[in-house]
Structure 1
Amino acid sequence: MTDRTHTAELAFGGPRLVSPLAAKLGFAQSLADIASTAAAREREHRLPHEEIAQLKALGFGALRLPADAGGHGVSLRELLVVARDLAAADSNIAHAFRNHLWQVEAALRQRDHPFHAHVLGLTGRNKTFGLSFAETDVIAAGARPTRVLSRLEWDEIRQAYVGSGDKIYATGNLYNDAFIGMAVESRAGRTVQYVLERGEGVGTGDDWQGFGQRLTGSGTATFRDVLVQPAHVYPPDPPKSGDAAPWGYTFHQVYLTNCIAGIARRVALDAVEVLRARGRNFYHGEAEHPVDEPVLQALVGRIRGYAAGVEASADRAADALQRAWDSHGTPGEHDATLAATLAAMEAKIVIDDLAPQIASWLIDLGSGSVVSRVGALDRHWRNIKVIASHNPRVYKERLLGQNALTGQLPPTGAFF
């Protein structure tokens, strides 16, 4: 490479779709293909079965497993780097992996427990997991929470457990190979964990009605007289010690915020292409071609700068999450996990506020040239808002304020 060529490459700065890490792990071509077809999938409502199958085959679902267990051996922080690349390519697909990736994290923490060992074994074979835990029917007014497969009945003839139930808002279940949950088994009346591999009686529908994240497979999962093999029913995890940190490392929230950061990066990438593709400027503009228009050049710079700020805020939360993971079982675990949940809240407040604005600026940049449904650029704003609706930021703002003023600790649910 000549010095001139090297300088020319450096001259075009800004974000890149694929990080060096994702390229090193062998995901570059797959991510580029996913990104190039994302708009068409959105227009045609084509579910990404093939794309997700390819990522599974490449080991995306097993990124965190050691190489000798069928994985890539990446750190939690590195997992979020590659997941953000995927979100920049297509946030639907990144979101669809979230529940599986969390189960892997939980399993890695307790890999000696037979349930988690089984989860890791299937993950190492490039299988992914969905959830069949309790769900609330949000459609029926005043509905009470229900539990999917709340009871597993022993069937003497088939020598297996049988269960039925429905799960709404089953993100990613449409693409998963197995499902996990908890239930009461009939013979001893005890609470158990189970792993149910996809088979007869399992139905996953595409009835998600959200205006964004339309292809995440977040519809209804149905289980009708499904068979759960006794070998796949396990005692529950042992209770946590009183010294254990209660916030679960806030993986769920950081992962979703990380997805939004990926969308912000994609907006910055699309902004360059949108302006380069514009053929006409307004008659009152200062340049003949839009790409030479000073106000539009400045808007590209604003989008780039704000998107970089969003990614930096997500990075800060991801770093805190890694430190919390590293502190497991140490005297500093409580403080590290508290710091992670506070950093996750701070990142969500900033990113949920800025990212929709960045997506809106993309429309300002393209003006009437980009409002056609062909480009599907409206998906960025819609997807950001739907992801951000998980555990809304207004509550995070209040809780952060209370913590600053009185030292009150955050709630201990999964999204904190």
Structure 2
Amino acid sequence: MTSVDHAHALLPDSAEFAALLAEIGAGASDRDRNDENPFDQVIALKRAGFGALRLPERFGGPGLTVPQLFSTIIDVARADPIVAHIFRTHFWFVEERLRTADEPTSQAWLAKVAEGKTFGNAFSEKGANAVGSLVFNTRLLPADGGYRLDGEKFYSTGTLFSDYLTVAATTDHDSVATVVVPADRTGVRLIDDWDGFGQRRTGTGTTVFSDVAVAPDELLSDSPYDAEPEPTVQYASLQLFIHAVVAGILESVVDDGVALLRSRERSFSHAVAERPTEDPLLQRQLGEIASTAFIARAAVLDAAAAIGAATDSQTATGVPDADLATEAQLKVAKVKVHLDAVAPEAATRLLELGGASASSRTRNLDRHWRNIRTITLHNPVGLKARAIGQNLLHGTALPANAYF
């Protein structure tokens, strides 16, 4: 297991962290083309203290603000969106523990985060239940003074690379419980079977739990299905993470666009300039792609600031101001609706900067479109846009689920 060397923990604005991201980025295209898991790169970020960036000093971290964290996530995604995506559930877990940081249980888990431990996701299941339903086939039942966990999960993003797994299950009294178990505990099986055409090596596969022992202090929550939801921005943060990855990919698209044009020595006989770098049409297209990337980062950071404001308004019980929470949720939803429209197009227009040679498997430029399109499919943009419109017209509350 990996632990943070606090003497060598890297701040995001340091030259050392920039060098680490450059090293991660240098191999990103080859890893994607060769379908390789980025174990070494994830370990390097763990050791650099990436997973502990939000911890305040009293818990052993640098105490980054929410916007500072999301700016760093964009930077990591620019280097490698696969590596960035792996940490998505981890940062949600950290925010949830910070929300209840006065509780001894949360403090114990935050100490693990400070040590460099990371937390993966085992929530979703295949089957007939609606996506996002709180009814699970995975069961948590009393046994031996604790519990036993049995079931099968899918879309377990980051689990393959994590030290601990957060698992949602149905209890013997038909409530929903969340537990945390070590990834290497007896009875836990991680299956690397995610077969998406993009974001391929995020460990988003099957996780099987067979008679897994769960201690009482590993139970995080146990709530009735029909419990009245509290105002929260933790799920908005979980969604904004996806958009931050897209923003990072767009910045990588710009990087590759510059390199692609500079690598070209000839153009078409009917082009308006002899060299592609001097062609005003290609210059304009590159500028438009760069503008899309710029607005993507700005929009993500604006929504992150709204999440930060709501987070700062939280009461001692971890409940934020309802109006600030709603504002943050709406901003995050609007970021998705916009990026879903412009990001895939930008990745497509990158290929037009190089013509047929841009389709070379060696260049692997299609990975940007594949990664963007895959990660934008996490929730339907049409339903997000409709929820925004309903709120504007009728003041309709946003759905109380993990997609907002």
TM bucket (normalised to shorter chain) is 0.7 to 0.9
Question: Are the structure 2 counterparts of residues 237 and 65 from structure 1 closer, same or farther at C-alpha, using a change threshold of 3 Å?
Answer: farther
> What residue is the counterpart of 1:112 in the other structure?
102
Scaled by the length of structure 2, what TM-score is found?
Answer: 0.88
Among residues 48, 55, 66, which one is paired with 1:65 in the alignment? Answer: 55
Percent identity for Structure 1 against Structure 2 = 37
In structure 2, distance between residues paired with 1:372 and 1:137? 39
Relative distance call for 1:206 and 1:298 in structure 2 (3 A) is same
* Structure 1: gaps (5+ residues): 1-19
User: What amino acid is aligned across from residue 84 of structure 1 in structure 2?
Assistant: I
Alpha-carbon distance in structure 1 between the residues aligned to 2:324 and 2:397: 13
Equivalent residues in 2 for 1:229-378 (5 A)? 229-233=215-219, 236=222, 244-246=230-232, 248=234, 250-329=236-315, 333-378=321-366
Question: How far is 1:94 from its partner?
Answer: 1.0
- The letter for the 1-side match of 2:181 is L
In the alignment, structure 1 residue 383 sits paired with structure 2 residue 371: yes
The partner residue of 2:392 within 394, 399, 404 is: 404
Equivalent residue for 2:179? Answer: 194
Distance change (3 Å), C-alpha of 1:231 and 1:141: closer
Q: Which string of whole-angstrom CA distances, capped at 9 and with x for unpartnered residues, describes residues 134-155 of structure 1? A: 52337x999x986365124424
Counterpart code for 1:121 = A
Distance 1:128 1:237, change over 3 A: farther
Query: What pairs up with 1:197-212 in 2 under 5 angstroms?
Result: 197-199=182-184, 200-212=186-198
**Cα separation, partners in 2 of 1:145 and 1:55, compared to 1, 3 Å:** same
* 3-state SS, counterpart of residue 284 of structure 1: coil
SS of the equivalent of 1:301 reads: helix
CA contact 2:164–2:180 (8 Å) conserved in 1:
yes
**What whole-Å deviation, never above 9, does each CA across 1:127-176 have from its counterpart, x for those lacking one?**
111233352337x999x986365124424xxx764322211110111101
* 1:35 paired residue among 20, 25, 35: 25
CA-CA distance at 1:329 after TM superposition:
2.3
Q: Is the CA contact (8 Å cut-off) linking 1:249 and 1:337 kept in structure 2?
A: no
Contact 1:135 1:167 in 2 (8 A): yes
Q: Which residue of 2 aligns with 1:46?
A: 36
Aligned residues: 391
Over alpha carbons, which structure has the higher Rg?
1
CA contact (8 A) 1:87 1:259 kept: yes
- Distance in 2 separating the partners of 1:411 and 1:84: 27
Q: How well do the aligned residues superpose, as a CA RMSD in angstroms?
A: 3.0
- Aligned equivalent of 2:5: none
- SS of residue in 1 equivalent to 2:149: strand
Rounded to whole Å, the distance in 1 between the matches of 2:300 and 2:241 is 9
* 1:129 counterpart = 2:119: yes
Aligned to 1:14: none
Determine the C-alpha separation between the residues in 2 that align with 1:68 and 1:400. Answer: 39
Would you say the 8 A contact 2:175–2:224 is kept in 1?
no
Deviation at 1:229, TM superposition (A): 3.4
Structure 2 unaligned regions, length at least 5: 1-9
Worse overlay, 62-71 or 72-81: 62-71
- Superposition TM-score, scaled by structure 1 size: 0.86
Match of 2:143 in 1: 154
Contact 1:132 1:148 (8 Å CA) reproduced: no
3-state SS in 1 of match to 2:12: helix
Amino acid at match of 1:173: T
